[in-house]
Amino acid sequence: MARKKRNPDAIVAAFDTYFGYGTLADWQRLCRDIGLEAEGKNTSSITQCRKALETVHVNIYDLLHAVRLGTQPQRFGSPKALSKYCRKTGKIYPKEKAKEMGPVRVLLREIFRHR
């Protein structure tokens, strides 16, 4: 899989459009799209959604692509596996664009720490 140049502003805008305003329904949709509700994870509050999301490792580019296709994104077994994939494909969400307490912050992993 060849690396190609990614537009960080486009992915930020796409995620912001997908996620909405950060209501409980938005958080629950994110959990559902990743497959957490089907696993029986508690998504009854934003705090519970945040806790559930901290346990999964997904690529944000792939998450948005999967949502467009109506499928679930690939989940990685560890931050290291996700890191390797992100570096190989160049699909790295710009950390400096993540809102402080938003869902992107919960999904971000240290990509360059895991080599």
Name the pTM for this structure: 0.84
Whether 3 is in a domain gets the answer no
Domain containing 14 equals: 8-107
113 occurs within a structural domain: no
DSSP 96: G
Give me the DSSP letters along 43-84: -SSHHHHHHHHTT--B-HHHHHHHHHHTSPPPB-SSHHHHHH
pLDDT in tens, 7-54: 788 988 899 899 888 999 999 999 999 999 889 999 999 999 999 999
Let me know if residue 71 belongs to a domain: yes
Neighbours of 110 (CB within 10 A): 11
Q: Within a domain: residue 2?
A: no
- Decide if 46 is inside a domain: yes
Assess if residue 70 is contained within a domain.
Answer: yes
In a domain, 112, yes or no: no
Query: What's residue 109's pLDDT?
Result: 76
Q: How confident is the model at residue 104 (pLDDT cuts 50, 70, 90)?
A: confident
Gap between the Cα atoms of 73 and 61, Å rounded: 9
**What residues contact residue 26 under an 8 Å CB cut-off, 6+ apart?**
19, 20, 103
Evaluate whether residue 54 is within a structural domain.
Answer: yes
pLDDT-based confidence at residue 5 (cuts at 50, 70, 90): low
Asked whether the CA dihedral 7, 9, 11, 13 is positive or negative, the reply is: negative
pLDDT at 7: 79
Average pLDDT over residues 59-75: 96
Domain count, the chain: 1
